[in-house]
């Protein structure tokens, strides 16, 4: 999801027309989300996972292009939310259900629906908090990131020789965990820090270059590690911060 200031855009956007480029990219993201749903129903789970990841790339582009070209609009904000619900809520929910939850019966579809409804709630909460929450942090796991965990899990399954559907309790647990993280208050880094685009030490460039080489060489493994690592980064950082804060309070209590 992208951050726009609602007060910066007019209420009569549709009457005056819409901006073609950013909304066309949003439409493309929605298209690949729909393709992922169709592919999942047809048993093409690998393709569905790839389509979801493509939607994620397009979702990251439309907001940046809108900001760079000064073409942000209220219509674009709402259209983006609708597209995100399909591409990162319904599509991964359908994929994870047909691929890994269907064999669990009612427990499976409840888990799948929990993911979808939590994605919808996450998007709705983001829309009302967009002007008040710190831009460097997200409240809860972003829906594209949650969808990325599901998509890369499927890709990893095929990478290690898996075929067709699977039945494993970890898929159920992962689905519930992702659903919870999306609606939680766990803080996640948003990668919207302007300092990221400023001059950085040389070793940062070397690390990024090595990371890109690893992704190209073993993209299934590396994409899963990155997606899962980001999903876990929020809870881990929260626990570390809680432990540090508790330690500081203990020291203050001793001094008092």
Residue 241, SS3? helix
Low-confidence ranges of the chain (pLDDT < 70): 1-18, 130-135, 193-198, 243-256
- Provide the pLDDT for residue 4: 46
Token digits of residue 131: 């002007």
Indicate the length of the chain as a whole number. Answer: 256
| Per-residue pLDDT, 114 | 97
- Structure confidence at residue 204 (pLDDT): 80
Q: State the pLDDT at residue 13.
A: 47
Output the pLDDT for position 189: 86
| d(C-alpha 61, C-alpha 22), whole Å | 8
Q: Give the contacts of 213 (CB within 8 A, at least 6 positions apart).
A: none
* Whole-number Å distance between alpha carbons of 204 and 15: 47
């Amino acid at each position: 999801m992208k951050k726009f200031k609602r007060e910066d855009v007019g209420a009569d956007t549709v009457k005056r027309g819409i901006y073609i480029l950013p909304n066309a990219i949003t439409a493309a993201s929605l298209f690949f989300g729909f393709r992922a749903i169709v592919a999942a129903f047809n048993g093409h789970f690998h393709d569905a996972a790839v389509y979801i990841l493509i939607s994620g790339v397009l979702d990251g582009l439309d907001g940046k292009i809108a900001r760079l070209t000064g073409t942000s609009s209220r219509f674009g904000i709402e259209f983006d939310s609708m597209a995100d619900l399909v591409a990162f809520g319904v599509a991964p929910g359908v994929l994870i259900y047909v691929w890994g939850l269907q064999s669990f019966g009612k427990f499976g579809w409840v888990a799948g629906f929990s993911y979808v409804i939590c994605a919808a709630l996450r998007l709705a909460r983001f829309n009302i908090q967009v002007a008040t929450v710190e831009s460097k942090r997200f409240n809860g796991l972003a829906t594209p990131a949650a969808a990325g965990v599901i998509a890369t899990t499927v890709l990893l399954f095929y990478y290690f020789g898996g075929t067709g559907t699977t039945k494993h309790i970890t898929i159920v647990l992962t689905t519930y965990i992702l659903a919870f993280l999306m609606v939680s208050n766990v803080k996640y880094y948003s990668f919207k820090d302007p300092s990221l685009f400023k001059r950085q030490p040389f070793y940062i460039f070397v690390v990024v270059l090595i990371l890109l080489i690893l992704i190209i060489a073993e993209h299934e493994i590396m994409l899963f590690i990155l997606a899962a690592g980001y999903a876990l980064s929020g809870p881990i950082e929260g626990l570390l911060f809680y432990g540090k804060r508790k330690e500081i309070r203990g020291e203050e209590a001793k001094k008092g």
